[in-house]
Chain A
Amino acid sequence: MSFDLDKIAHLSRIALSPEDRLALGPKLDTIVTMIDQLQAVNTDGIEAMVNPMVGPQRMRPDQVTEHDSHSQYQAVAPQVAAGLYLVPKVID
């Protein structure tokens, strides 16, 4: 599958300038060529290794354990009002 720069940039939610396209495009192609080596490896019957943990990932009881830190965490937010994060209008 070829690398569609515009599609991938959109999925990544990153705006690409003309300079970015020139700088990124060829280098992304060489990286994809490098990782394509894996296609030649026989992995029949091999289970995917999601992480190197010994044993399953721990679950915890479904209980509230944290206290409300709203104001503390929102102190670093770009724009807030009435405890809400402000963003450009989504719905007209």
Chain B
Amino acid sequence: MHTKTLRELSLELSQRRISSVELTTAYLNRIERFEPQLNSFITLTPEHALAAAAAADASIQAGTAGPLTGIPIVQKDIFCTKDIKTSCGSKMLDNFISPYDATVVQQCHQAGMVMLGKTNMDEFAMGSSNETSYYGATTNPWDLTRVPGGSSGGSAAAVAARLAPIATATDTGGSIRQPASFCGVTGFKPSYGRVSRWGMIAFSSSMDQAGLIAPCAEDIAMVMNTIAGFDLRDSTSANIAVPDYTALLNQDIRGRRIGLPKEFFAGLEGTVADLVMQGAKALESLGAQLVDISLPHVHLSVPVYYVIAPAECSANLSRFDGVRFGHRCDAPKDLLDLYQRSRAEGFGAEVKRRIMVGTYVLSAGCYEDYYVKAQRVRRLIAHDFEQAFQAVDIILSPTSPGTAFKLGEKAADPISMYLSDIYTIATNLAGLPGISVPAGQVNGLPVGLQLTGKHFDEASVLNIAHRYQSITNWHTAIPENFA
């Protein structure tokens, strides 16, 4: 069962060739067998899952089921789940049992999906390797000595090892697309505002977005139909109609214009570049046109991001003060001591680093020179995309400059770690939809190809990704030890 796509599993369930309880049990057994090698989960919810599976089977029997009823899913531990621990990968929330479900979790539950557990992640979504998690690093199923990427490393590893058919994830600077690339799976970040952020623990509020990781674009389209859409409780939620993404997957892509930014390909050599260009040629063989474009300010994405994201995180994480929820230090001598020690004990090094950079760029004397300046450069970067999209429909690039690096290799060098997101960050600054699809392997390690679309044109991104996957089979590969 674990080698089947979500669409195939949906058919198996609807035609009653398997029950949801049987399917859920099969995945729980795989988790029990393989999870010790991966550490891709923070919390497993087997009783919850089997109860949901039984309810799904009753719905299928009664003829009231939908396409996702009975399908197992794993939720990144950044989404609040009612009565279930929600840690955000941090000691700060190690004791936090959420009193409510995030909108995304509610939507999956209402669709009859079966939650198997909460996946591991970089602490408060800050990281590109899943090494900053309080619960330990997750390993890459393709090579257990390497990182799965981050911050959605647990979700990517779990899907790559086929411990679940699909996972939710979040992306602020590449945290869906980069781990998807490193783990040989498909990872999709919708446009900012397309999916509700209510109940999704905030890191950088102008860039955070919920998305999905699955083996293929078709599976992602099925769940996007459920989680995309307006939410009254999220003031940044877009009130724009949601199309049927599955109905648009097989549209002919002849004549679609695919932009290749010269800034992303200049100086990129070797097999990653070759594989991404082969991917571009594959789309050309389907009738798409390749067009050279320029994004002149895109080289500034990383410094802009590392002003804005820390600034916003310093504001968002100020709520973790030991007063109302989360970690509190022992025997605080006064209120200041309570704040300072609770936060020092609760946060890891990378989170402290980013909070402090954010506090610095927002402080008196720095605010105009750093924060406002970065916002102006952000507009230049976003404008580059607007200009490019006058000439093209989609932009194609590598997802990451390389393949998964070794555990510990970049942990001591934050700048080197930050640069692994060099191709993904601009998409978040501009609020655009982006997907990473498997495009080959280098020395047995997956390489991802990234497609970025116009605002709220998720349909084109998923369509082109699906058509690419209809003539390639990189997305069907499963790591040998997890086959």
Instruction: Please give the residue numbers on chain A whose beta carbons come within 8 Å of chain B beta carbons, in ascending order.
Output: 1, 3, 5, 7-9, 11-17, 20, 23-24, 27-28, 30-32, 34-39, 41, 43, 46-54, 57-58, 60, 69, 72-79, 85, 87-90
Q: Is the interface of A mostly helix, strand, loop or mixed?
A: loop
Query: For A41, what are the chain B residues with a Cβ–Cβ distance below 8 Å?
Result: 297, 300, 373, 377, 380
Interface size class of B (residues with CB under 8 A): 35 or more
User: Hey, what's the 0/1 contact readout for B342-365 against A, CB within 8 Å counting as 1?
Assistant: 011001010011011101110101
Query: For B376, what are the chain A residues with a Cβ–Cβ distance below 8 Å?
Result: 43, 46-49
Chain A minimum-CB-distance residue to B310: A31
Query: For A23, what are the chain B residues with a Cβ–Cβ distance below 8 Å?
Result: 349
Query: For A31, what are the chain B residues with a Cβ–Cβ distance below 8 Å?
Result: 306, 353, 357, 414-415
How far, in whole Å, are A16 and B341 apart by their CA atoms in the complex? 9
Query: For B97, what are the chain A residues with a Cβ–Cβ distance below 8 Å?
Result: 75-76
Of B340, B361, B376, chain A has the most CB atoms within 10 Å of the CB of: B376
Chain A minimum-CB-distance residue to B362: A11
From 269 to 288 in chain B, residues with beta carbon under 8 angstroms from any chain A beta carbon are none
Chain A minimum-CB-distance residue to B299: A37
When the two chains form the complex, which single residue of B344, B355, B370 contacts A15, counting CB atoms closer than 8 Å?
Answer: B344
How far, in whole Å, are A87 and B324 apart by their CA atoms in the complex? 10
Judge if B314 is at the interface, Cβ distance under 8 Å. Answer: yes
Query: For B336, what are the chain A residues with a Cβ–Cβ distance below 8 Å?
Result: 13
When the two chains form the complex, which single residue of A34, A53, A79 contacts B236, counting CB atoms closer than 8 Å?
Answer: A53
Query: For A12, what are the chain B residues with a Cβ–Cβ distance below 8 Å?
Result: 314, 343, 352, 355-356, 359
Stretch at the interface among B131-139, B246-254, B326-334, B397-405: B326-334
Query: For B112, what are the chain A residues with a Cβ–Cβ distance below 8 Å?
Result: none
How far, in whole Å, are A51 and B356 apart by their CA atoms in the complex? 22
Judge if B337 is at the interface, Cβ distance under 8 Å. Answer: yes
Question: A46 near B99 (CB under 8 angstroms)?
Answer: no
Give min CB distance, B353 to chain A, whole Å.
6
Chain A minimum-CB-distance residue to B302: A34
Question: A52 near B343 (CB under 8 angstroms)?
Answer: no
- Given A41-B380, A46-B380, do A75 and B99 touch, yes or no (CB 8 Å)? yes
